[in-house]
C-alpha cells in the first residue's frame, strides 16, 4: 500500500470533466450484455470496479472491448444468454458490480462462484440472496451471507413482488436484472425512491417498465420479463459522486473557482449539491441537457463561507455516497451539521460512520455519532489536520480526507492511495492540475 499526502493549496482553478459515472457504467455493461447486437459506450468509467464487471461479463461469454478512441464495445448475448464461467468471478472492491451481477446470473441455469477483496468479503450479500432465492436461485455463502459465495442459477425462475427493507438501488437493480430472464412481471416496491439508473437504462434498451409512486413515498417498479433488448449507444455522464471531491475542495480552499462539465444531475443522485447550496455554498449549474435519458449540466463551485444545517433522513438515498465529503465540508462550516438516517453507511466499502468520526477526530474536528446520525461541529475556522488517516479500503474516505488536507492548517496523510483507482483513476493528478498539492507519502514518515 502506498500512501498519499495533501497539503495546503493556494487556490484551485480550472475547467475539468469528472470521470464517468460508476453506477451507470456497471449498468451499461450489464444491460448491453443482455441486448442483441453491439452496444457502444462512450465515457465509460475506466476504474478498477467497472473493469471487474467487464472482466466478469467476458468470463461469461460477452465480448467486451476497449477501442483506441476510448469507446467500449459490448457484443450482447441476448437475455438469458450468459455462459457458465470457468473460474471464480473476482469482483475486487465493487459492491455494485457484485450485487448487480448476482441478480443477473440468478436466472441463468448454471453455477458460478464469486469473491472480492477484504472489504467486499466483509459486506452483507444476504440482502441479494434473499430475493433471488425467492425467484428460484440458491446462494451458498459464508456466515452472515458473505463472500466468497456460489450462486446456483434458477433453471425455471419465477417472478416475485419484492419489498426491500431499505431503499437500496443495488437490491432493486439485482431483482430487476434477475427479472430480465424470468417469465411474467417482476415487481420491486422500495420504501423510498433510490437512484433509478437501472430503470432508465433498461428503458433505453427497449424494456417495458411500469413505475407507480405510492402516496406514502414508496415507489413500485414492474418489469415485464424476457424482453427483446436491442443494442444502443450509451453516453455515460460524469459521476456526481466523483465531481463532489474537486467541487467541495473548491468551496473550501479560499479564492477558488472550478467548473466541472457534463456532471450527472439525476435528482435521485444529486442531493449533495442542494445540501451544499442550503449551507450557503456558491454553486451554479449551466447548460442543463439530457444524455441517454439522464440529466447533465456544467457545475461551477466557488469558495465561500458555509453554515451548518440539519440534513434530514429522507435526503439520504439521493446522496448516500456523499456523506464523507459532506462531513468534511461541515468541518469547515460555522455551526453544527446534523446528518440523520445513516445506518446504511455502516455497510459500505468501510464502516463509513466510524471511519468519518475517526478521521475527523484525528484532524482536530469535534464530531459524534448518535444512533444512526452524524454530528459535526464547525467553528468557521480551518480544522487542524496534521493526521495520518486510514482509508480502510474505501476510496471515498481516502479522497475526502485528502480534500480536508488541501484546506486544513496542516497536511493530511492517508495510508492507501491505490483504493482511489476503484472510482477515480487520476484523482491526485487532476487535483494537482487545479492547483492542489497531493503527493506520494510513505505511511510511517
Ligand atoms: C449504488 C447504490 C448505492 C451506492 C453505491 C452504488 C448503485 O448502494 O452506495 O455506491 O450503483 O446501485 P445501496 O444500494 O447499498 O444504497
pLDDT over 70 percentage in the chain: 99
Across the chain, mean pLDDT equals: 97
pLDDT tens per residue, range 17-69? 999 999 999 999 999 999 999 999 999 999 999 999 999 999 999 999 999 99
Per-residue pLDDT band for 291 (boundaries 50, 70, 90) equals: confident
Q: What are the cell numbers at 76?
A: 450482447
**H or E stretch at 440:** strand 437-441
What distance in Å separates the CA atoms of residue 41 and residue 29, rounded to the nearest whole number?
8
Residue from 22, 26, 96, 352 to probe ligand 1 pocket by mutation (most atoms less than 8 Å from CB): 96
Place of cell 459465495: 149
The pLDDT tens digits for 417-429 are: 999 999 999 999 9
Q: Could you give phi then psi for residue 99, rounded to 5 degrees?
A: -70, -40
> Are the beta carbons of 84 and 77 closer than 8 angstroms?
no
User: What are residue 144's phi and psi, to 5 degrees?
Assistant: 80, 15
CA separation, residue 258 to residues 127, 249, 300 (Å): 39, 9, 6
Ligand 1 centre to CA of 102 (Å) is 14
| pLDDT surpassing 90 at residue 349 | yes
Residue 430 has pLDDT above 70, yes or no: yes
Cα separation, 407 vs 424, whole angstroms: 20
Residue-wise burial string across 138-161, b where 16 or more C-beta atoms lie within 10 A, e elsewhere: ebebeeebbbbbebbbbeebebbe
Give per-residue pLDDT as tens, 379-404.
Answer: 999 999 999 999 999 999 999 999 99
Q: Is pLDDT of 443 > 70?
A: no
Higher-scoring residue by pLDDT: 445, 230:
230
Ligand 1, pocket residues at CB < 6 Å: 23, 96, 168-170, 173, 195, 320-321, 344
Span 155-213, pLDDT tens digits: 999 999 999 999 999 999 999 999 999 999 999 999 999 999 999 999 999 999 999 99
- pLDDT for 445 equals 44
Does the pTM surpass 0.95? The reply is yes
| Burial of residue 367 (number of CB atoms within 10 Å: 0-12, 13-18, 19+) | buried
Mutate to test the pocket of ligand 1, among 169, 200, 325 (most ligand atoms within 8 A of CB): 169
pLDDT at site 438: 97
Which is the closest atom of ligand 1 to the Cα of 348? 9
Q: In the block, which residue shows the cell 457534463? A: 262
Amino acid at each position: 500500500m502506498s500512501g498519499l499526502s495533501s497539503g495546503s493549496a493556494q487556490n484551485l482553478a480550472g475547467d475539468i470533466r469528472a470521470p464517468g459515472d460508476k453506477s451507470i457504467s456497471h449498468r451499461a455493461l450489464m444491460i448491453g450484455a443482455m441486448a442483441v447486437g453491439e452496444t457502444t459506450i462512450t465515457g465509460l468509467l475506466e476504474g478498477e470496479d467497472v473493469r471487474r464487471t467487464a472482466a466478469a461479463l467476458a468470463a461469461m461469454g460477452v465480448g467486451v472491448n476497449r477501442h483506441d478512441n476510448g469507446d467500449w464495445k459490448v457484443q450482447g448475448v441476448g437475455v438469458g444468454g450468459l455462459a457458465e464461467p470457468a473460474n471464480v468471478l473476482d469482483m475486487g472492491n465493487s459492491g455494485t458490480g457484485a450485487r448487480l451481477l448476482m441478480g443477473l446470473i440468478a436466472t441463468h441455469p448454471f453455477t458460478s462462484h464469486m469473491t472480492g477483496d477484504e472489504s467486499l468479503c466483509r459486506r452483507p450479500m444476504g440482502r441479494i440472496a434473499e430475493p433471488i432465492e425467492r425467484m428460484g436461485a440458491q446462494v451458498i455463502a459464508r456466515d452472515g451471507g458473505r463472500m466468497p459465495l456460489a450462486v446456483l442459477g434458477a433453471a425455471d425462475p419465477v417472478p416475485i413482488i419484492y419489498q426491500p427493507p431499505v431503499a437500496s438501488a443495488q437490491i432493486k437493480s439485482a431483482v430487476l436484472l434477475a427479472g430480465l430472464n424470468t417469465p411474467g412481471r417482476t415487481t420491486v416496491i422500495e420504501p423510498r425512491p433510490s437512484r433509478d439508473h437501472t430503470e432508465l437504462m433498461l428503458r433505453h434498451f427497449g424494456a417495458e417498465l411500469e413505475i407507480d409512486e405510492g402516496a406514502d413515498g414508496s415507489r413500485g417498479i414492474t418489469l415485464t420479463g424476457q424482453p427483446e433488448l436491442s443494442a444502443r449507444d450509451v453516453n455515460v455522464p460524469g459521476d456526481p459522486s466523483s465531481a463532489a471531491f474537486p467541487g467541495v475542495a473548491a468551496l473550501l480552499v479560499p479564492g477558488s473557482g472550478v467548473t466541472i462539465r457534463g456532471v450527472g444531475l439525476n435528482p435521485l443522485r444529486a442531493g449533495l449539491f442542494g445540501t451544499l447550496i442550503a449551507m450557503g455554498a456558491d454553486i451554479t449549474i449551466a447548460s442543463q441537457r439530457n444524455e441517454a435519458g439522464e440529466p447533465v449540466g456544467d457545475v461551477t463551485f466557488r469558495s465561500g463561507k458555509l453554515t451548518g444545517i440539519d440534513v434530514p433522513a429522507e435526503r439520504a438515498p439521493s446522496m448516500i455516497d456523499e456523506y464523507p465529503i459532506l462531513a468534511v465540508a461541515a468541518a469547515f462550516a460555522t455551526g453544527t451539521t446534523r446528518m440523520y438516517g445513516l445506518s446504511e453507511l455502516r455497510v459500505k466499502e468501510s464502516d463509513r460512520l466510524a471511519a468519518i468520526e475517526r478521521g475527523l477526530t484525528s484532524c482536530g474536528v469535534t464530531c459524534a455519532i448518535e444512533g444512526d446520525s452524524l454530528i459535526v461541529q464547525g467553528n468557521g475556522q480551518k480544522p487542524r489536520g496534521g493526521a495520518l488517516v486510514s482509508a480502510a479500503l474505501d476510496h471515498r474516505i481516502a479522497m475526502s480526507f485528502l480534500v480536508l488536507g488541501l484546506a486544513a492548517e496542516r497536511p493530511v496523510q492517508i495510508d492507501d492511495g491505490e483504493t482511489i483507482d476503484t472510482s477515480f483513476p487520476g484523482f491526485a493528478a487532476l487535483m494537482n492540475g487545479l492547483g492542489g498539492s497531493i503527493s506520494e507519502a510513505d505511511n510511517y514518515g
